Amino acid sequence: MTSLGLQADPSYGVPGKKRWAMVVDLRRCIGCMACVAACKAEYDVPLGVWRTTVRVKDTGTFPNTRRNFMPRLCNHCDNPPCVRNCPTGATYKHEEGFVLQHFERCIGCRTCIAACPYNARFMLPRNRTRVGVNSVIDKCTFCEHRVSQGLVPACVQTCIGRSRIFGDVNDPNSEVAKIVATQKTTTLKPEKGTRPQVYYIKPDRVGTEQILSAPESYAARSDAEAFYRHNNGSRFYGGTL
């Protein structure tokens, strides 16, 4: 059922194949962080690493200010550089589009982290609460274990604003396919040729600079410094202040 190999065949638009994708409607995101907490619980994600985050950014000058939210997760690229760069085949692309990890094949070399333009991958620490997988690379799985059972991913399940929409983009009758076909959507860093499968509605609100920009406020900077003092080799998502 899963294809293991260094080459990841593109599945977007391939007839008869599923290609899971997510649309994030930024008009509906209220930055509530329910997705972040739900994801942590679903997988026992340890402190200091994230499969999904929401970056917060204020812009404007009093009183004409606004707040922008930017939910992030693995883009489950149709042409994933992490898969191409994994030397052991630990990282692979599922035939339905999920980009996944074979933990037992992962040697923790971090090549995939370096290859990913989205900071979507991380090294699991030695200690976590209940799951015994440690010291290998982990990432968002689009909740493959839920999706294959007919459910939406955990972040989509709990999304209060119904901002995250999930489905098979190869099925022309699916909502995500209709949105991608008929609405103005954007993806992140398409120029990298990754063919990301997380689409954003209302790109005006994406706030491009915030996504991986250095923290600006002292509060955010000092959090980042504390993070880097404690965590070697992983990248801070930016915090909420």
Question: If binding is defined by CB under 8 A, does position 14 make contact with another protein?
Answer: no
d(CA 236, CA 233): 10
3-state secondary structure of 15: coil
Alpha-carbon distance of 3 to 131, in angstroms, equals: 25
Contact 234, 123 (CB under 8 A): yes
Shortest distance (Å) from residue 29 CB to another protein: 9
Piece of the chain touching another protein by CB under 8 A; list 2-10, 86-94, 108-116, 168-176: 168-176
Tell me: does residue 62 bind another protein (CB under 8 A): yes
With tokens 């920009």, the residue in question is: 213
Under rule CB under 8 A, residue 100 binds another protein: no
In the bound complex, what is the minimum distance in angstroms from residue 62's beta carbon to another protein? 4
Q: Which of residues 25-54 bind another protein (CB under 8 A)?
A: 25, 27-28, 30-34, 36-38, 40-44, 46-48
In the complex, least distance from residue 63 CB atom to another protein, rounded to whole angstroms? 6
Q: C-beta of 87: minimal distance to another protein in Å?
A: 25
184 near another protein (CB under 8 A): yes
Distances (CA, A) of 190 to 159, 176, 178, 204: 26, 18, 20, 17
Compute the C-alpha angle 175/177/182, nearest 5°: 95
The structure tokens 């015994």 sit at 132
Does 2 interact with another protein (rule: CB under 8 A)?
no
Among 4, 107, 114, 131, binds another protein (CB under 8 A): 131
Helix (H) or strand (E) run with residue 119 in it: none
Q: Does 113 bind another protein (CB under 8 A)?
A: no
Q: Residue 190 interacts with another protein (CB under 8 A)?
A: yes
How far is the C-alpha of 118 from the C-alpha of 136, rounded, in Å? 18
